[in-house]
Structure 1
Amino acid sequence: MNTENATRKGKIKPFLKSTSLVVLGVLLGLNLSGFYFNQPETNTDTVSSAIATTAVVQSDNYSELIKSLSPQVVTIYTETGMGSGFLYGEEGYVITNAHVTLDGTEVEVWNAYGHYSEGEIIGISEFMDIALVKVPDYVGEGGLAIDREAIIPVGSPILTISAPYGLEHTASLGYITGRERNLEMESSSSYNQFIQFDGQVGPGSSGGPLFDRVSGEVIGIITQTGGDYGEIKYAIPVEDALYYVDRWMKTPMDSKTIEEIQSNLKQLYEWE
């Protein structure tokens, strides 16, 4: 699992390293103002069918939902790479992946309006790909709604908002394609609760939110892909991540412990 890279736009100068966990060769375009479908010509015998089809198209316009969720999704930059994250609670906390935050305890955080803020890593896990960033500028800002007990069956519609290939706030629609997937972690431990989904994610998406498209609540955290071309995507169920996050909020980790874990993870990821 390598860090995610993109051209930096903040005060920290760019230093491109290796590709991230998420590898997806082709990005499909998403029209945020709605989706357009070619309708076949109809005659008087197919009027009712055309009306039904039009109703489906209108119900599939998610532009307002995406617009309401995007301000709580951020892009995180470090000395050597970048990833995504999202606001949690109202005290200025941002959840992301551990492999996104392996370069010291300070990061740059950019919101949907192009505003820069400084963030400090206050928690990172050596056993699950989760980290927590404190951003003082975000105190008082509302976080995303979380579904702590989500049981989302295969076939359920989902939404992602992240920064694949540095394309910040890219929105994508997809579906849950599998549950309780078992993958080997870099720490040689095994985790068998991954959510499998399809959607438009790539390097830079890690740490971004996976939403239930119906409720608009976060159900997972984008973390990695599988397959020869990264065509299979995985997310950590948000309720498992919050086990760590809620503890770090009460008792932040000290910088020495964070740096030791970062060093261990770099070795596991075989960074130079």
Structure 2
Amino acid sequence: MNEGLSNTRRSGMRRRVLQSACAFAMAAAVPVLARADLVGVLPQIKPSIVAVGTYQRTRSPAFQFRGTGFVVGDGHLIATNAHVLPETVAGENMETLAIVVPGKDQQGTVRQVSRVASERSRDLALLRLEGGAALPALSLASRERVQEGQEIAFTGFPIGAVLGMTPVTHRGIVSAITPIGIPQANSRDLNPALIRRLANDVFRVYQLDATAYPGNSGSPVFDPKTGEVIGVINMVFVKSTKESALSDPSGISYAIPVEYLHKLLGEVR
């Protein structure tokens, strides 16, 4: 009788050990699968990432980096942040808007672009390639698919051309979907831009737990499983509004939802 109870206890213990081992293995497999998804998706993403700036052959460096962009639409359109673009270019000195398409070397290929659309209130802009072959375009996600907690990644040039024209990828989650205009506890914390946003132009942005840098402005935020773009990194427009009352800006990153890029594309097609 005692031997039978002992065997039963041993069997129960073995089952619990096996169940625990299976649960651990399944939990461990989730990040592995997520990493595997990103590894498979990145070769589709990186050929569509470009550096945005101005080009003037007689200066050094000839290309001045201003931010990141990515190819959309028919392969001749580049999406980026509106603040990435200069107010004017010195055409009399042969300065032009340009992008650099990364290549196998550290320099990449310079291609001329023109500004075709801009939405200052959402800090988005579209550029058009001037002639030449189309580039591979990224797919844009539908407008209503993003949820808090979902995994994201973004690819761009976090510190510009300092280390060469090599796109860099960061990953994280959507930690919150939050209004760009946040009511302040004290009227002294308000500024004219925030007052306008609160009165007329409140819209929601994605708060990310991954760290982006100023050169990442204009980078595509995408689903690491599918490669579909869900937003556009913004490191100036959003942070200046949401964090204007902070003496030390946070390490939080923000992105403009892709639905606003859909609308801008609709205006130029």
How many Å separate the matches in 1 of 2:132 and 2:260? 24
In the TM superposition, 1:1-272 aligns within 5 A as 48=22, 51-52=25-26, 55-56=29-30, 58-61=32-35, 62-78=38-54, 81-104=65-88, 106-113=96-103, 114-137=108-131, 139-166=133-160, 168-183=166-181, 186=193, 188-189=196-197, 190-224=201-235, 225=239, 226=243, 228-247=248-267, 249-250=268-269
Instruction: Please state how far the C-alpha of 1:73 moved relative to its aligned partner.
Output: 1.1
TM-score for both structures, normalised by structure 1: 0.66
TM-score for both structures, normalised by structure 2: 0.67
1:164 partner SS: coil
| Residues 152 and 67 of structure 1: CA distance in aligned 2, closer, same or farther (over 3 Å) | same
- Could you list the per-position Cα deviations for residues 185-223 of structure 1 after superposition, in whole angstroms to 9, with x for gaps in the alignment? 948333321111121310111111011223220011111
Counterpart AA for 1:59: L
Structure 2, unpaired ranges of 5+: 1-16, 56-63, 90-95, 183-191
Instruction: Please state how far the C-alpha of 1:50 moved relative to its aligned partner.
Output: 6.7
The RMSD of aligned alpha carbons is 2.7
How many Å separate the matches in 2 of 1:202 and 1:147? 24
Instruction: Please state how far the C-alpha of 1:67 moved relative to its aligned partner.
Output: 2.1
Counterpart AA for 1:245: L
Counterpart AA for 1:178: A
2:259 partner SS: helix
| Residues 73 and 49 of structure 1: CA distance in aligned 2, closer, same or farther (over 3 Å) | same
| Residues 48 and 126 of structure 1: CA distance in aligned 2, closer, same or farther (over 3 Å) | closer
Aligned pairs, how many?
206
Indicate the residue corresponding to 1:3 in structure 2: none
8 Å contact 1:81–1:100 — kept in the other structure?
A: no
- Could you list the per-position Cα deviations for residues 159-201 of structure 1 after superposition, in whole angstroms to 9, with x for gaps in the alignment? 1001111154110110001114223794833332111112131
Structure 1, unpaired ranges of 5+: 1-43, 251-272
Structure (1 or 2) with the greater helix fraction:
2
How many Å separate the matches in 1 of 2:132 and 2:24? 47
